[in-house]
Amino acid sequence: MGKGTLVKEVWPSFLSLLLIGAALFALSLLHSRRAMGRWPERMRGHRWRVIVKS
């Protein structure tokens, strides 16, 4: 039974962490895409490298 309660306690916090991480990733993706709009078209290929760096 102890294992079940541990899962019940840990799972919600793990889910919330996952949600926060996903939200941060989405925000950075949107931000980089907005910055991409100001760049020349030929720079588009470097988009993923920029995301990894930031």
29 close to 48: Cβ distance less than 8 angstroms: no
pTM: 0.47
17-45 pLDDT tens trace: 999 999 999 998 888 777 666 655 555 56
Q: What is the pLDDT of residue 16?
A: 94
Q: What is the pLDDT of residue 24?
A: 94
User: 54: helix, coil or strand?
Assistant: coil
DSSP single-letter state for residue 41: G
